[in-house]
Structure formats: structure tokens, C-alpha cells
Amino acid sequence: MTTVETPAYVPGHGLLTGRTAVITAAAGAGIGGATARRFLEEGARVLISDAHGRRLKEYEAELAGEFGARAVDAAVCDVTDETQVRALFDTAVRRHGRLDVVVNNAGLGGTSDLVDMTDEQWSRVLDVTLNGTFRCTRAALRILREQGAGGVVVNNASVVGWRAQAGQAHYAAAKAGVMALTRCAAIEAARYGVRVNAVSPSLAMHPHLVKVTTPELLGELTAREAFGRYAEPWEVANVIVFLASGYSSYMTGEVVAVSSQHA
């Protein structure tokens, strides 16, 4: 298979200037961290959140060093805890005066055949990935409704919400749920001028994925991609920027695949 090289990094164009955004699971080198950086490059003020306090503080310091302390701050939040979710969004409004964009990136995976899967494994993945997205979307919509000035929610789904993959029943069910939640929330939020969409990545490489996935499976997944390579997290973040910006003003309830999978 021919491998297509990763394209050059795309510079910012001020697409989110003046916007305040909350991004969950944004500490580190994955899609959330890449999205935070891209939002800052596009002119947004960003509140990053993660359940891992140490990593969160380190990434906040890194971003503040590049973009200035006024552009970025952080708040620890476990999306399975409703009290922490409410506090996260209250913090965004208190510190920045308003909320414009929410990126629900928090998710949890794992590999287990259904016959061997425990109730705890099933419930934990759904609680973080689906219920966490529900909690954050609900909190965001309550604020955006009261503001009365529109807004955007972008959820992170996955192609496994559409495609069968052994060992991924819990994760696939959760991500399919995120897709359905996105569509229903979009219909309800339209009356407030709020748009709700989702991205559905196929294979975006980051250190956590390497730790929880065997080399054999990574090779198999990469072979399914038409470009013969995985996506860089910033390539997924670029599509999230598009959905958060005015360039997608007539899109809501959509799940946009970010993949190069064979047709």
C-alpha cells in the first residue's frame, strides 16, 4: 500500500476570535489537547479540562507560555461527576463572562470480547463516553439557552459507532449513543440558535492509544485507511474548528467522519 505523507500544519486564520470555549479531556497529546491548541491559534479563549490534575496543570502552563495566561486556563473535571460538570461550566462563565463553544472530547475505551466483559467494564466506558457527553451537553445548553446568543457544541464520536469491530461492543455502543445524542440535542437546541454536531474519527494516533492497543491491531487499523497512515490529532482538530466556526453555520445534527477509510 502507498502511504500518503502527513500534510503541512495549517496556520490559524482567526476563525474563533473572541469566542470562549470549554474543551474536555484536553490535557496531553490527543485530540483534546490538539483542539485546545488549534482553538488558541484561531483566536479563542480556552478553558481546558481533564480528570488528571497534574497533566492538566502542565499543559495549561505550556499553552499559557505560548499564547499568554489570559488566553487559557484550566479546571479539573471528572465528567462522571455531575457536581464537577456543573462547576466546570460555572467556572467558564465566571472567568470569561460567557460561553460560546463546547467540545465534548472525554471518552474511555478498552478491548474485551462481549462474553468476557464485566458489568463494570461496560458501565465505566458508557459512563465516561456517553453519559459524560450527556452531562456536559446538558450543562452547556442550559447556559447557552439563557445567554440567548447562539453557540456551538461539538461532540467526539467514532467510526466504530457505525462499524463493527471485535472487542469494542461497549465503546461502539457508547459512540453510537453519542451520535444519536448529537442529533436529538441539535433538534432541541435549534430554537435557541445553538448548533450541535459531532466528529467521527477513524484512527488518530496519540500516546494513550499506543498504550492500550497491540501493534498487530494498530497495523490492521492502519491498513484500512486509504492514505495508509493514521491521522494526526491536529487533523481531527481542524474539522472541530470548522464545526465551531461560522463556516459551518447551516450545519446541525451532523456527524462528520474524519477518516480516509476505503469506500
Residues 75, 88: contact at Cβ < 8 Å? yes
Q: Which of 9, 171, 230, 247 is catalytic?
A: 171
Distance separating alpha carbons of residues 174 and 180, to the nearest angstrom: 10
Helix (H, G, I), strand (E, B) or coil at 252: coil
Radius of gyration for the chain, computed over Cα atoms and rounded to the nearest angstrom: 17
Rounded CA gap, 214 and 216, in Å?
5
H/E segment holding residue 45: strand 45-50
Task: Phi first, then psi: give them for residue 210, nearest 5 degrees.
Answer: -60, -40
Is 171 a known active-site residue?
yes
* 171 Cβ contact list (under 8 Å, min separation 6): 107, 108, 109, 110, 125, 129, 158, 160
- Give the catalytic positions in this structure: 171
